[in-house]
Structure 1
Amino acid sequence: MADLFDASSQVPDTTPRPLADRLRPQSLDQVIGQDHVLGPDGPLGTMLTSSTLSSLILWGPPGVGKTTIARLLADQTNMHFIQISAIFTGVPDLRKVFDAAKLRRTQNRQTLLFVDEIHRFNKAQQDGFLPHMEDGTILLVGATTENPSFELNAAVLSRAQVMVLKRLELSDLERLAQRAEKELQKPLPLTGEAREALLGMADGDGRALLNLVEQIIGWKTDAKLDTDALTTRLMRRAAQYDKSGDAHYNLISALHKSVRGSDPDAALYWLARMLDGGEDPRYLARRITRMAVEDIGLADPQAQPICLQAWETYERLGSPEGELALGQAVAYLALAPKSNAGYVAFKAAMKAAKKTGSNPPPKHILNAPTSLMKDQGYGNGYDYDHDAEDGFSGQNYFPDGMKRPVYYQPVERGFERELKRRLDYFVKLRAKRQS
């Protein structure tokens, strides 16, 4: 059964309304924290001013006003509002929605169809929206917590504008808490520090904050509660982290770039955020090792073994003790000299290998275990480097006719400074031998 909401239905409501519902904004200018979208110069504000509202995808974390904005858009544009959830709605339900919207259109009223969790619809279901969007039967407003470019069809995205909504800042949450106190006609029984802790517990989610406020207001207490008393009575809200969603990729990117940027404090913070969110430490161990190979390389040859040792230590100790080894590896990587010269060289060599195809090695470096191979010239003219002056023959090892490339260019940092010195030495020696 579809989760449908029809704004025209009149259902008697005698049950107490949750605080979040009582404080739902009645106009767009009452929405907190999304001025970059709703303000006069924001994209949605501009659309409304010019009366050119198009289909939208509202992308943002939970509790930032996606549903509220959709409802208010319908009110402001005098459209009929229908809400469905992609989790509970099937193809037959969608057909009923579209048929009703077509009938409404014959009566000169457009339908704003709000689809919560739109990314949960499969490709075929998403394609089903297209003809009704194109002929004006519906104006689609989809809400998603996931990156639309990964989760939504290109055809849907090409017909809708993506609006990015932000998690609420502490100042936004404070404004919301003050509205709640005014509505309830009662101040929160918290000290200043406890109030800040409460805002932090909401983790940028306005709906979560109002739920917490509603709990606290119901407590019987004569004195203001401090932070310890607050956290004892409230279970701290779990951090927003989906190990297969945007948060996963955003946080691992933040960790990697903090390491690359030589900031151990930031790197440890993002590592802790991922561990606290329930990320698999083995995944982190693998990614940390990759950072050593990709961003440090031969500038510090100890970086990779330290990561592998941390990985092995975690396997032996498990959580939470083994996580400390991963933290130490991250700190070491952040402070290690950085070089991606080996990474760049390998990619360039792979590109060249694909381009040059099956060019054989020069015959002088081929083994000749049979007489036929010797007759073909295999091994002829090979100079044994140990017999050469300085242990270096300077021979060519690339395919015949291939211009000698340069892939590996070590930097003047860490151990690669020494490798660069050696490389320069062999370049000069090779030129000398060839002359």
Structure 2
Amino acid sequence: MTLLDLTPRVVDASALSTLPVAIIGAGPIGLAAAANLVERGIDFVVFEAGDEIAASMRSWGHTRLFSPWKHLVDPVSRRLLEDRGWSLPEPERAPTGTELVEKYVEPLAALEEIAPRIRTGVAVIGVTREGMDRTRTARRAATPFAVRIRTAAGEVEDFVARAVIDASGTYLSPNSLSSSGLELLGMAGIADRVTAALPDVLGRDRAVFAGRRVTVVGAGHSAANTLLALVRLAREAPGTTVTWLIRNSKAVRVSSSPDDELIGRASLGSRVDRAVERADITLIDGFEIIRARRTTDAVELLGHRDGEVVTHESDIVVNATGFRPNLDILREIRLELDEIVEAPKRLAPLIDPNVHSCGTVEPHGFRELTHPEQGFFIVGMKSYGRAPTFLLATGYEQVRSVTAWLAGDIASASNVELLLPATGVCSTGAGNGGGCCS
């Protein structure tokens, strides 16, 4: 009987460079990484868990983004597209998520240099070094990555790569409704009455909310978008009521600011304020959720408010408490993360939501995104951990720098530049929030 050779495959630098780069996620940031690798002449494969590219963005495609077109397109991707006759849509207009996908992301993914390298319906379920767990050090940097994937048919295999760019985002990893951050006690019993952030209240999901008592939990822009849609639905569907439940004393995350150059976001805050003043929205602040339970025909949220135990009854709950990175697939990778926001250690001080808004984040690239695991990078929204201050333009500069580093162009990788719109306060204070959209 012949035994399998399970010795880690160590290769020299030149051989390692012949392997492709694995990109996790086929959203705008993952595809921007692909475009930059095309320009650098580096092979790659993009793994997308959804059945289509930009699967997460499609789910909230009815939502209008804050940024106009001129801030939403990656420069390298734009060059590749314009070489094929594509032109930027109205630069000053903010598109919906669906428009961004159909008019930009889909044409980018369809380019002949990119399309054959995208594998949809393939979930990445683990990343490691080939034949090594995280405890082994000898010759680690010279050992290829093994990206474990699972296809829609359930087949599991390892894909060997020279480097890994994790652009998988955070949309599928919402924060808990519980103020403790742990899974809400009683969640299993009410799960069918809880929806994800940014439901299509006026379209696809209308029947879920019409004529119901709806509670939106969360103090961010995702919550604000949903609240305003529910206010409109309440005018059209009798019996629909809207409650906004937050754990802080006020919703500072959606406060309007005259300094915000993203007009859509500035107006969002003021529109919610007016709806509260008109009593179209019932605001309950200072409510810290600790448990949920199912009654005969409703959901009851139990919590602390002003030092007392209180309850709130609802038919439907929208979880708009923000998102967190899914780090489970990276257990065998050596990461260096900030202990508070779960962003790369060097990046965290630049994006701390206690200090920074989206527009005050300094340009950053491969240096701030580097982990002890050489050749592994988390980019895009996932790189921000639990901080809700991410803009697509920031992610595009991240991947430009990272791909330059992979190409050995240290000068270009180190020369990070980024011009962001002034954005007022898009997030302040620690805790759950959730911001949408770039």
Taking structure 2 as the reference length, what is the TM-score of the superposition? 0.25
Larger radius of gyration: 1
**Which structure's relative contact order is higher, taking Cα pairs within 8 Å and 6+ residues apart?**
2
Q: Identify, as 1 or 2, the structure richer in strand.
A: 2
Taking structure 1 as the reference length, what is the TM-score of the superposition? 0.25
Q: Identify, as 1 or 2, the structure richer in helix.
A: 1
